[in-house]
Amino acid sequence: MAFNVSVFTTRAKTAIIYAAIMLTGMCWNEWSFFILFSVVHFGCWYEYQKLSSLIDPSFHQKHLLDRIGFPLLGWGFMLFATTGKLEVLNVPLDKIGIWIIQASLFLLPAPFLFNKLYSYKHFLRSLLGTLYISLSLALFINLRSGWIWGFAN
């Protein structure tokens, strides 16, 4: 494949803009870091579910609860990982994260009750996605919040 200068310059400019946005989001403050990783989290879940349905057509998720249950559970883990550093209306995000985790864990068994074709294979694939995507991003949030270094609150 020959080296194309115009393609290279376009990709280089795009990479510089991407790096600037990512570095700004990561270095500006805790809120920009959290918002950046929340956008990355839901984008990763969208791609994970799309790729899973291409690999296994029986994984195609038809119900809204199937599509948002595990991503919300993972986002609850991300909220919980803020360890009280971020607040909305004087309510720490880690408390909101606990509420979202509890609600998600209550609603996750619903597809087994309402959908006869829902199998443990679907549940396991989504659970592995939670470990792969959400847990790793929650640990990034936890690193930024300072808990691991003893600087929480």
State the SS3 of 94-139: HHHHHHHHHHHHHHCCHHHHHCCCCCHHHHHHHHHHHHHHHHHHHH
- Spatial distance between the Cα atoms of 17 and 129, rounded to a whole number of angstroms: 29
Structure-model confidence comparison of residues 47 and 110, the more confident one: 47
Query: For the chain, how many structural domains are there in total?
Result: 1
12 domain residue, yes or no:
no
153 bridge partner residues = none
Structure-model confidence comparison of residues 120 and 131, the more confident one: 131
What is the pLDDT averaged over residues 116-125?
A: 77
Q: Is residue 63 scored above 80 in pLDDT?
A: no
| pLDDT level of residue 99 (50, 70, 90 thresholds) | very high
Q: Is residue 7 scored above 80 in pLDDT?
A: yes
| pLDDT level of residue 41 (50, 70, 90 thresholds) | very high
Helix (H), strand (E) at residue 87? strand 87-88
What is the pLDDT averaged over residues 59-76?
A: 81
| pLDDT level of residue 72 (50, 70, 90 thresholds) | very high
Helix (H), strand (E) at residue 91? strand 91-92
Q: What percent of the chain has pLDDT over 70?
A: 90
The domain of 118 spans 30-149
Q: Is residue 148 scored above 60 in pLDDT?
A: no
- Range name among 16-20, 52-56, 82-86, 102-106 with the lowest pLDDT average: 82-86
4 domain residue, yes or no:
no
53 domain residue, yes or no:
yes
23 domain residue, yes or no:
no
